[in-house]
Amino acid sequence: MAAFSTNTTSLNNKKTLAKNHTERHDSGNNLFVHVPTTVTASIFVRLTNMYVQAYTKNVESDYKDDKMTKLNLVYQDIKQKIDEGIHKTDSLLPSENRLCELYGASRDTIRKALQRLRDQGYIQSQKGKGSVVINRQQYVFPVSGVISYKELVQRLNFSSKTTLISKDQLELPVECFKTVDPHAKPKRVTKLVRLRDMNGEPVIIDIDYIDTEVVPDISQEVAEDSLYAYFEGKLHLSIAYAKKEITVEPATEQDQELLHLQPGSVVVVVKSVTSLEDTTAFQYTESRHRPDRFRFQEFARRS
């Protein structure tokens, strides 16, 4: 169990940043954290929770490498408030003087924390105004792995809506996927064009070509819900792997109209070919993303 007490000693009497912010020591199974009385109750709760998490994970070494210093705590707390929408886009952060009071920190510490936020694209300084929160919301998409859009949205905990724009049956445009699947051959497919809205904003156009020999038909209800849930849950298909290619291309007229882009804009295009366990390539997809709303991340290890 952790116990906490406030320290009424003046901040000016502290000699280091760590002690300027908190003091900690162990007594039996208790963790005592001393904080200056100038720190508000909400900040106190955030700070003590962070210490308890570090303590319970046995990461005392973190205290030695700047991970729990005043600078990092101020940066993390403001960043979290921006991520959670407490500090909203286009709003001004509190003044440097006010931040010094809120966090019980020196002006130098506050300025360094704000600089880090600027470097990370969270805020922009405006002369005569202060620090303005800027729109940097981006959705992280994995490069590897075979995951449905619905599964990804649930994992990210975003509100989402899928709208079926059109549905046709035609021949697979083989040339569009030659770089991803050089062995692609003409086949009859169902073409679906779907618009993805995340948090009330159109961000992706998905164009799917699905082999009619594997999936004879797809209803509007299925198209606007989850193809993979239908493929695996209803048709009992065993989806095995996918090949992907990522490029940046000029936005088409359809991109501009559906994604609310200006003429001359570009989109990030992810082409993929998905295959079943028997190696049958049955789904060809072209996903067209607004580049200002997505980050593609992958973990790589040097062998």
pTM: 0.54
pLDDT of residue 169: 96
pLDDT of residue 123: 83
Distance CA 164, CA 167 (A): 8
Integer CA distances (angstroms), 120 to 26, 33, 113, 281, in order: 35, 30, 11, 41
Domain 139-297, what fold? Chorismate lyase (3.40.1410)
- Label residues 131-169 b or e (16+ Cβ within 10 Å = b): bebeeeeebebeeeeeeebeebbeeeeeebebebeebee
Beta strands of 42-137 (E only): which ranges?
123-126, 130-133
| 282 within 8 A of 210, measured Cβ to Cβ | yes
For the domain made up of 3-133, the CATH class stated in words is mainly alpha
Collapsed DSSP state (helix, strand, coil) of residue 159: coil
Collapsed DSSP state (helix, strand, coil) of residue 214: coil
- Report the first-to-last Cα separation within the chain, whole angstroms: 43
Low-confidence ranges of the chain (pLDDT < 70): 1-68, 120-121, 135-159, 297-303
Residue 222 belongs to what H/E stretch?
Answer: helix 220-223
pLDDT of residue 3: 39
pLDDT of residue 2: 39
| 127 within 8 A of 86, measured Cβ to Cβ | no
Q: What is the residue extent of each domain of the chain?
A: 3-133, 139-297
Q: Is 287 left (phi over 0), alpha (psi -120 to 50) or beta?
A: beta
Going by C-beta distance under 8 Å and a sequence separation of 6 or more, which residues neighbour residue 230? 218, 222
Distance CA 194, CA 204 (A): 8
Collapsed DSSP state (helix, strand, coil) of residue 256: helix
pLDDT of residue 269: 95
Helices (H), 88-190: 96-103, 107-119, 149-156
Among the listed residues 206, 223, 215, the one whose alpha carbon sits nearest the alpha carbon of residue 269: 206
